[in-house]
Structure 1
Amino acid sequence: MITTKRLILRQWDDADQQPFAQMSRDSRVMAHFPKCLSQEESDKVARKIQSLIAERGWGFWAVEIPDQHAFIGFVGLHIPKDTMPFSPCVEIGWRLAPQHWGRGYATEAANASLHYAFMHLGVEEVVSFTTVNNIGSQAVMKKLGMSYAYHFAHPDLDASDPLSEHVLYKISKAQWEVFTR
């Protein structure tokens, strides 16, 4: 478990599946993904994330506001598929319910995740990627001190898919240390 000033990042539990499924059906949350997820698809993703945290001790942690004790989304670290043009690597990512957008929660939790990656896992660089139109996530990347690296076509999407074009941002441990001073 990781705590910040306003948040808890923790392992998922069964009570997180329903609010995650609601997020996964929300077209605003899923606007930069190929599709909204069914309950079954969402549950499968949640179980996979939970099993990776159990296996590694880290991953896309469930995020909650301490006094509310309710799942608001996930933030954390992941190892993307080896088909990504920048693999192998460690990725930082987030997905929050819309009612929690614009409060700095993604940035706060992601900063804690970067600290964990660099100080506990010994990672030398962390990447993040999203569609070219996902300006909100790109803003979070910049607030974390990440720098634009390049555009790429997502290998899991057809080149004609409007979501295919992605941007990669990254930050090294040395850059993060300077940025957080």
Structure 2
Amino acid sequence: MKLETERLILRKIEETDVERMFLLDSNPEVMKYIGVPVLTEQSESLAVIRMIQKQYKENGTGRLAVIEKETGLLIGWSGLKLLTEETNGYKNVLDLGYRYLPEFWGKGYAMEAAIASLELGFNEMNAKVIYAYAHAENDGSNYILKKLGFEKTSEFTEPDGVCNWYELRHEKYLP
């Protein structure tokens, strides 16, 4: 699976991405609202990559590496995954998520990659609804989800705080 936008390539995450993934996973700013500890060993990022690769095989989808065309660098990940464990009362639904290195924040990359992922979900995977959630204090993520057209439908509490739950119905999605 490979998606291409004006400035980005979204492709499956590979074990050779471990160094850049570790930069992401070990950054306290990136991990601030995630609810999991900052990773301290590259081997932990390799385990994350293998978990995502398992999702590709078992669920037919998973987060994708986001590559900046200009530099060829992995700048983060984005995409749809199947929530196989219950989250806010939902299970076996598509969830949009993303994470980027801070030096790539504010450049519109999250929107660009999310739009490509939503088009894949609605047009090729025939999803009727795509869900997303973000920590209530994560202004950047909440802003992006609202700008994409997601509607906040509820809140739920995670160990690290309150999260906003969003949904986007296919009929309301206007790229």
Deviation at 1:57, TM superposition (A): 4.4
Deviation at 1:69, TM superposition (A): 1.5
Relative to structure 1, the CA distance from residue 69 to residue 55 in structure 2 (aligned partners, 3 Å threshold; closer, same or farther) is farther
Deviation at 1:11, TM superposition (A): 1.2
Deviation at 1:115, TM superposition (A): 0.2
Identity of aligned residues (%): 29
Deviation at 1:146, TM superposition (A): 0.6
Amino acid paired to 1:80: L
TM-score (normalised: structure 1): 0.88
Paired residue for 1:66?
Answer: 69
Give secondary structure in 2 for the equivalent of 1:82: coil
Tell me the alpha carbon deviations over residues 38-63 of structure 1, each in whole angstroms, 9 at most, x when there is no partner: 32322211111123224544320001
Deviation at 1:153, TM superposition (A): 1.6
**Mapping for residues 63-102 of structure 1, pairs under 5 Å:** 63-84=66-87, 85-102=89-106
Q: Which structure has greater strand proportion?
A: 2
Supply the distance in 2 between the matched residues of 1:112 and 1:126 (Cα, whole angstroms): 13
Paired residue for 1:25?
Answer: 26
**Mapping for residues 19-58 of structure 1, pairs under 5 Å:** 19-34=20-35, 35-39=37-41, 40-58=43-61
Gaps of 5+ in 2: none
Gaps of 5+ in 1: 158-162
TM-score (normalised: structure 2): 0.91
RMSD: 1.4
Give secondary structure in 1 for the equivalent of 2:28: coil
Amino acid paired to 2:73: A
Supply the distance in 1 between the matched residues of 2:86 and 2:138 (Cα, whole angstroms): 22
Give secondary structure in 2 for the equivalent of 1:8: strand
Say whether the 8 Å CA contact 2:154–2:164 is kept in structure 1.
yes
